[in-house]
Amino acid sequence: MRHILIFLTFTMLSGASAVAQQMDHSHMQGMNHGAMMGMPGIPTEPGQSAFAAIQEIVGILERDAATDWTKVNIDALRQHLIDMDNVTLRATTTAHEENGSLRFSATGEGAVRQSIRRMLTAHAAAMNGAGGMQFTARETADGADLTVTATDPGQLVKFRALGLVGVLAFGMHHQMHHIMIARGQAPHG
């Protein structure tokens, strides 16, 4: 009896799998997306991190009755996420310790260079003074420098270990920036 149950279960699952494999996107057009989310085997990840960040923000905006849709600017958030991607994945970075400060240099070409400049300048403006540290940025011919000065030498040890991208990611301030950008607010000043 047990073998029959296993065989029947396997047969049913194989049939469901075959049906799911044959279903293309055109069959899903008439389906209720809310109902689809509860179906077993439907992925929950949207497939790309920038898209996922935007999807999360859109959901927050939709659930907030106070959202002023005349000010919402999802494309500005998209551009910011492109900058984050360029700096994280395409910039060349180095670190130099100078007189109790740590200077991160980031370089790149074309769009990457412009992303570096926007990200480092915005980060310095947003984080300057946080935790007793001074953040300054200056544009260079090939990108920008971000200098961190801390009264506690242990902070510099930590930031040297984190590297530029780790310093940019330090703390949980990006999420607030993202919702502010999407709402059409100026998060960096």
Phi then psi for residue 24, to 5 deg, are: -105, 180
Where do the domains of the chain lie?
76-182
Confidence of residue 16 (pLDDT cuts 50, 70, 90): very low
Confidence of residue 14 (pLDDT cuts 50, 70, 90): very low
Contact status, residue 165 vs residue 93, Cβ threshold 8 Å = yes
Q: What pLDDT is attached to residue 12?
A: 39
pLDDT, tens digit, for every residue of 89-139? 999 999 999 888 999 999 999 999 999 999 999 999 989 998 889 999 999
Top pLDDT among 5 and 91 is at 91
CA pair distance 67, 72, nearest whole angstrom: 8
Q: What pLDDT is attached to residue 38?
A: 61
Q: What pLDDT is attached to residue 125?
A: 92
Does residue 36 surpass a pLDDT of 50?
yes
Query: Looking at the domain 76-182, which fold is it?
Result: Gyrase A; domain 2 (3.30.1360)
Does residue 84 surpass a pLDDT of 60?
yes
Confidence of residue 147 (pLDDT cuts 50, 70, 90): very high
- 127 closest CA partner among 181, 77, 80, 188: 188
Q: What pLDDT is attached to residue 25?
A: 45
Residue 64 CB neighbours (<10 A) = 11
Q: What pLDDT is attached to residue 2?
A: 43
Q: CA angle, 117 as apex, 112 and 122 as ends, to 5°?
A: 125
